[in-house]
Structure 1
Amino acid sequence: MAELKTKGWLYDHLGDLPKWQQNAFRQFRNMIADPGNTYPCVPGRQGFLSDNLRFGFAEDPRSEQAVLDVAHLLQQYGDCSRQTGKYASLVVFFKTSEELTKTFSIADYEQLFWSVLSRVSAIDQIPWPEHISTDPSHPSWEFCYDGHPYFTFCGTPAHEVRKSRQFPCFLLAFQPRWVFEEVNDSTPFGRNMKKIIRKKLVDYDGVPAHPSLKWYGQEDNQEWQQYFLRDDESVPSKCPFTYMKNKFKALGVHFHKS
């Protein structure tokens, strides 16, 4: 069963882990804590350096086991995230086969991403918080699990243009909504942080920031559009989350939590 790991634990035990897990963590460390300080997500970098991040490993993202792994990690994380520091995030690395790496396009990974979130949500036994809409078209919508809302980020091996979304294995990060209590458009700190991140993002990717990147709760914001960014500026015509979640329920797909 997937268990939360700290950076310190991983440094001490990395050699005992399967090779793919060793590689995933090393590659993440080299990306987010690069000596040149080029990685655009300033809170993510600070979270890594200050040991605020927590990590987990999941099986092939197409599998039922991966769904159970993510659900178990989120359940553990929801209980402790506020004790991990103000730059909290959960990073989940998935076992990504050579088949996926060589044959999956960005469109394939996009569908896989929403499939994972939908399947995880389908086994959630706790109602979403009352202040979070279950309608993805509403500005307050955010992915929730076990009563906790999260901004969700995806990285894939297929991204080439948006290097900030490129990673050697399929990766999901879950950032608790409470992290943004001080980082938003209503605070000078938040506005300044946005300017810094946007400049670093353009420098890192070499292309303009995706037009979907807006503030949570902003009237014209569609939060789900920020979760998975394509290499170009296009977005799906409608959120795949509700469609997929309903599809799994209609098919009678059930994942048994252990």
Structure 2
Amino acid sequence: METFETIVNQDDFPCLFGKKAVNALSTELLFVGKEKGVADLIAGLSSYVQKVRSWSLKYRIGKPLIVLFEKNDFGTLELEQLYAWDLLQQLHDQDPGPWPEEIPADLNSEHWTFSFLGMPLFINMSFPQHSVMKSRNLGSHIVFVINPRENFDQVAAGNSVSGQRIRDRIRSRSEAYNQGIKSQTLGVFGERGSLEIKQYQLEEPGALSHERCPFRMNIK
């Protein structure tokens, strides 16, 4: 956790909301063990979703869930990403809640987003082997930063001037932090051609390709 906080607290770290939450000590933490990976993930995310439902929208904006994975014996970025997607798939397959009626089941829809226990979420995946997309490297372990999708609609809505300004600022900082490299898959939720799932994991040489989606919908 110390390495994660050190990285996020760097002056040039791009995510301003993440920096603010870490400095305020307001993040929620979840540690996922090697042996009970998906069980830990289900229990921890279930607890988080239940708490989020009791919080005001203003309060929850400063309360992202930071998921730290114990397993870190991967040799490549692709293997790290395969492991992360496999756990996310298991989380979806074992979701005890209903899929939200307002979220399409089509991964190719610009309105699709991952959901658990009926709550739409955004999953930011960060990996130790990222060397080009350094903004997605938060230390020596895989890290998920999970926020309710509604948080982004509140602070950076795609159709608002203020939302555009905030996104532009953060993405400009990301490009600078990544030494001028700009991700080609970051988009705006709801815009035609912008797929949310491609924003969870970013690409670089050696990464898992977005050409074949590693996730499948399984709605019972």
What does residue range 130-209 of structure 1 map to in structure 2 within 5 Å? 130-166=101-137, 167-182=139-154, 183-209=156-182
Name the amino acid aligned to 2:127.
T
Name the amino acid aligned to 2:187.
K
Matched, 1:212 2:212: no
Partner residue in 2 for 1:122 = 93
Higher relative contact order (CA 8 A, sep 6+): 2
Matched, 1:88 2:60: no
Could you say which structure has the larger radius of gyration?
A: 1
Change (3 A) 1:92 1:234: closer
The CA deviation string for residues 37-95 of structure 1, in whole angstroms up to 9 with x for no partner, is: 211011111222233321110012xx5x1101111111111112252432331110011
Partner residue in 2 for 1:252 = none
Give the one of 27, 31, 41 matched to 2:3. Answer: 27
Q: 2: CA distance between counterparts of 1:44 and 1:56?
A: 16
Gaps of 5+ in 2: none
Q: 2: CA distance between counterparts of 1:239 and 1:88?
A: 29
Question: Which protein has the bigger helix share?
Answer: 1
Gaps of 5+ in 1: 1-24, 250-258
Q: 1: CA distance between counterparts of 2:97 and 2:60?
A: 25
Change (3 A) 1:110 1:161: same
Change (3 A) 1:54 1:109: same
TM-score by length of 2: 0.89
Q: 2: CA distance between counterparts of 1:94 and 1:86?
A: 23
1:161 alignment partner, SS class: coil
TM-score by length of 1: 0.77
How many Å apart are 1:234 and its aligned residue?
8.2
Q: 2: CA distance between counterparts of 1:191 and 1:52?
A: 26
Q: 2: CA distance between counterparts of 1:207 and 1:109?
A: 24
The CA deviation string for residues 76-119 of structure 1, in whole angstroms up to 9 with x for no partner, is: 1111225243233111001124x32xx2x111122112101001
Give the one of 29, 48, 55 matched to 2:22. Answer: 48
Question: Root-mean-square deviation (CA), in Å?
Answer: 2.1
The CA deviation string for residues 131-178 of structure 1, in whole angstroms up to 9 with x for no partner, is: 111221111111111111111011111111111111310111111111
Q: 2: CA distance between counterparts of 1:52 and 1:131?
A: 29
Q: Percent identity?
A: 23
- The farther-off stretch of 41-50 and 77-86 is 77-86
Give the one of 12, 15, 19 matched to 1:38. Answer: 12
Change (3 A) 1:29 1:141: same
Name the amino acid aligned to 1:170.
I
The CA deviation string for residues 4-27 of structure 1, in whole angstroms up to 9 with x for no partner, is: xxxxxxxxxxxxxxxxxxxxx101
- Contact 1:106–1:230 (CA under 8 A) maintained in structure 2: no
Name the amino acid aligned to 1:33.
N
What does residue range 39-78 of structure 1 map to in structure 2 within 5 Å? 39-60=13-34, 63=35, 65-78=36-49
